[in-house]
């Protein structure tokens, strides 16, 4: 299966991607995680991306698309993948369609939209903590790790992302509404959009997501 997750920052894409990808045994490809890894390791790509990420702007399409093209060409993505955080605008969606068709002879199976209102998204983002080692996300109130500051999965250190500060959160929500939300109509027009209510406990959202994807499995 070739799945794209869409939804505003803080909707729970990373959280759900983790469970969905392991349930379906496909790789999770998170452009945000790949960028953060490159920023942390001060690579050429990280240097290019950092200023945009710090402001909450999208990294330029040519940088992002080149990175995704390389990742999709890797062997583990041949049988399917779950894209989390890409595409983020209509030009990226157009290019993704072209890469899949021309270079890999594939097309997307389904696009899953996580629907959450803006107040909840702000509550989720302000308490988000991310594992430095395995990228798993937690929340200080909603999904607390058993020991504060430490990832239950791998024992890594949890940190608050620089772009999860109030002013940057506001800007990222504007960027979502102006640049990313048009993807909803784009994929609805393609007939591959499925939306689910992404509020309530994490496990319930996962159940809803897996039920919504069920008709496409196989
Ligand atoms: P969120 O958890 O808020 O959805 P991500 O971790 O997906 O955020 O992305 C963090 C930042 O990385 C974005 O604000 C943006 O600067 C950059 N980024 C991630 N994916 C893309 C993309 N597809 N296009 C451009 N920039 C991206
Ligand atoms: P995204 O990748 O869409 O930006 P995340 O998966 O990083 O979103 O989730 C944002 C924050 O909300 C994290 O701190 C996460 O623990 C928390 N969260 C995710 N799903 C839920 C949920 N169903 N209920 C409450 N908090 C959640």
DSSP string, 38-68: HHHTT-HHHHHHHHHHHHTPPPPHHHHHHHH
170 in catalytic set: no
User: Smallest Cα–Cα separation from 206: which of 20, 30, 39, 8?
Assistant: 20
* pTM for the predicted model, two decimal places: 0.96
Best residue for ligand 1 mutational test, from 85, 160, 176 (most atoms within 8 Å of Cβ): 85
Say how many C-beta atoms besides its own lie within 10 A of residue 125's C-beta: 23
What DSSP assignment string belongs to 129-142? EEETTT--EEETTT
Q: What is the pLDDT of residues 123-147, one digit of tens each?
A: 999 999 999 999 999 999 999 999 9
Sign of CA dihedral 31, 201, 11, 142: negative
Q: Identify which of 192, 177, 198 has the alpha carbon closest to the alpha carbon of residue 114.
A: 198
pLDDT of 102 higher than 80? yes
**Catalytic residue from among 97, 161, 165, 208:** 161
Å from CA of 57 to ligand 1 middle = 8
Q: Which residues line ligand 2 (CB under 6 A)?
A: 7, 9-15, 124-125, 127-128, 137-139, 142-143, 201-202, 205
Average pLDDT over residues 188-204: 97
Q: How confident is the model at residue 62 (pLDDT cuts 50, 70, 90)?
A: very high
Sign of CA dihedral 28, 136, 177, 198: positive
Active site residue 88: yes
Q: Does the C-beta of 15 come closer than 6 Å to ligand 1?
A: no
Active-site residue, selected from the candidate residues 2, 36, 48, 88: 88
Q: Is the CB of 16 under 6 A from ligand 1?
A: no
Q: Tell whether the model's pLDDT for residue 218 goes beyond 90.
A: no
What's the token pair of residue 9?
A: 């920052």
pLDDT of residue 104: 84
Cα(115) to ligand 2 centroid in Å equals 12
Catalytic residue at 208? no
């Amino acid at each position: 299966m070739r799945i794209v997750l869409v939804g505003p920052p803080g909707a729970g894409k990373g959280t759900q991607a983790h469970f969905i990808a392991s349930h379906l045994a496909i790789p999770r490809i998170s452009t945000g995680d790949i960028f953060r890894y490159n920023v942390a390791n001060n690579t050429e790509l990280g240097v290019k991306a950092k200023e945009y990420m710090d402001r909450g702007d999208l990294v330029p399409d040519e940088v992002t698309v080149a990175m995704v093209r390389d990742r999709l060409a890797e062997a583990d993505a041949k049988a399917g993948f779950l894209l989390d955080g890409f595409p983020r605008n209509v030009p990226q969606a157009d290019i993704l369609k072209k890469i899949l068709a021309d270079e890999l002879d594939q097309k997307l199976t389904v696009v899953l939209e996580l629907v959450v209102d803006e107040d909840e998204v702000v509550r989720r983002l302000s308490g988000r903590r991310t594992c430095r080692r395995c990228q798993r996300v937690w929340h200080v109130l909603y999904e607390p790790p058993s020991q504060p500051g430490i990832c239950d999965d791998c024992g890594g250190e949890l940190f608050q992302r620089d772009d999860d500060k109030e002013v940057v959160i506001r800007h990222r929500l504007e960027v979502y509404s102006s640049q990313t939300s048009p993807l909803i109509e784009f994929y609805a027009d393609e007939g591959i959009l499925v939306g689910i209510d992404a509020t309530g406990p994490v496990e319930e959202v996962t159940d809803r997501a897996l039920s919504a994807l069920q008709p496409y499995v196989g």
